[in-house]
Amino acid sequence: MRTKAAILVEQRKPLVIDEIEVPALKYGQVLVRIAYSGICGSQLGEADGVKGPDKFLPHLLGHEAGGTVLETGEGVTKVRRDDKVVLHWMKGDGINSPTPSYGWGGRTVNAGWVTTFNELAVVSENRVTAMPAGGDMRTAPLFGCAIPTGFGVVNNDARLKLGESLVVYGAGGVGLSAVLAASLSSAHPVIAVDVSDEKLALAGKFGAAHLVNARKEDAEAAVRKLLGAGGADAVVDTTGDPGVIEKAYGLTSARGRTILVGVPRKGNDISIYSLPLHFGKRLSGSYGGGIDPSYDIPRYMALCARKNIELSGMISAVFPLDDINTAFEELRGGRIAGRCLLDMGAAG
């Protein structure tokens, strides 16, 4: 069996689109036909070598998608053939299977426990979660990374309480989801900071009460004017920019929480005054919002359905797999405000 895939062959080079051989399923593996895949900033970072040299090349990419189960390997009980599923990078219930190896012209193409830039994907049982009845395949990729991470950051990492203030730096997929979660949690005020008016407009639609364009005004001064000298109860950074992280920490109140989602490039260190950490201020990095995908993803999907939240508004662009390199360039150039999807031609 063969499938089309986008392959990372060399860092800082375009992905190669070609057909690869799909391996037979092993214990704990699931074969999924991908309908839509999201493109997360993490994949751009992998392709661009943000964390340094990649020892697993060539390999497949992608960690958020919606699809349909075609086949299950021995031992799999969590999902069945024909189930509509969300694919996610966070480890959920079920077997943590071996990672698959695909064939490509006599070469081996490596893959992790989940990949989604391939039309047919062999994934680990604990990286798929069945959708609730009526789940939408097009918005399903949002629940593979952006929404659970953003919701988890607010609920688990920041532990935001009713009426507490939140500042979010970066209004991409995770930032928008954090804004949405905060608004659902009755946070006040919710402030979004970005350098793109288009992204800020989306943040306003998803619950931000105040929008600050850091390219047009002094963001720190604007936020302090809104919050007062005490600062914010929680500040979330999704940019991974050391300068922004330092400002986020500085805007956090004496007993507030600074949560880091974005990761700086290797070697780009941050510099902070650490004394407040000894007296109640908190600085922490988030790992996927600390969620349990098997429990939280169906819960978040049901919540958004009950609240009639128009999640399609988070999706700003959809490309076919053949145009993935164009999508990457558009994202690198900041020309896509919301989430970018790949249409894998198997919607349903």
Per-state percent for the chain, helix, strand, coil, to nearest 5: 30, 30, 40
Task: Please report which residue ranges of 112-260 form alpha helices under DSSP H.
Answer: 146-152, 173-184, 197-205, 219-227, 242-251
- The dihedral through the CA atoms of 124, 129, 130, 134 has a sign that is negative
Output the pLDDT for position 200: 97
Statement: residue 96 has pLDDT above 50 = yes
Percentage of the chain beyond pLDDT 70 is: 99
Which tens digits make up the pLDDT trace of 180-196?
999 999 999 999 999 99
What is the rounded average pLDDT of the residues 314-331? 97
Residues 216-229 as b/e (b if ≥16 CB within 10 A, e otherwise) read: eeebeebbbeebee
Output the pLDDT for position 347: 55
Which tens digits make up the pLDDT trace of 215-231?
999 999 999 999 988 99
Q: Which of 34, 50, 24, 44 is closest to 117 using CA atoms?
A: 34
What is the rounded average pLDDT of the residues 316-339? 95
Report the run of H or E that residue 60 belongs to, with start and end.
strand 59-60
pLDDT band for position 124 (cuts 50, 70, 90): very high
Output the pLDDT for position 222: 97
CATH assignment, 146-290? 3.40.50.720
Residue the block writes with tokens 């306003």: 204
Give, as one character, the DSSP assignment of residue 155.
Answer: I
Residues 252-291 as b/e (b if ≥16 CB within 10 A, e otherwise) read: bbeebbbbbbbebeeeeebebeeebeeeebbbeebebbbb
Q: Where are the domains of the chain?
A: 2-130+310-343, 146-290
Statement: residue 125 has pLDDT above 90 = yes
Average pLDDT, the chain: 95
Comparing 5-9, 215-219, 334-338, which segment has the lowest mean pLDDT? 334-338
Which tens digits make up the pLDDT trace of 243-291?
999 999 999 999 999 999 998 888 899 999 999 999 999 999 999 999 9
SS3 state of residue 288: helix
SS3 state of residue 102: strand
What is the rounded average pLDDT of the residues 84-96? 97
Contact assessment for residue 103 and residue 109, using Cβ atoms and an 8 Å cutoff: yes
Does domain 2-130+310-343 fall under CATH 3.20.20.10? My reply is no
CA distance linking residue 118 with residue 5, whole number of Å: 4
Output the pLDDT for position 61: 97
Output the pLDDT for position 26: 98
Enter the pTM of the model. Answer: 0.94
Output the pLDDT for position 155: 96
What is the rounded average pLDDT of the residues 207-213? 98
How far separated are the first and last CA of the chain, in Å rounded? 22
pLDDT band for position 348 (cuts 50, 70, 90): very low
Statement: residue 19 has pLDDT above 50 = yes
The residue among 316 and 348 whose pLDDT is bigger is: 316
- Strand partners of residue 147: none
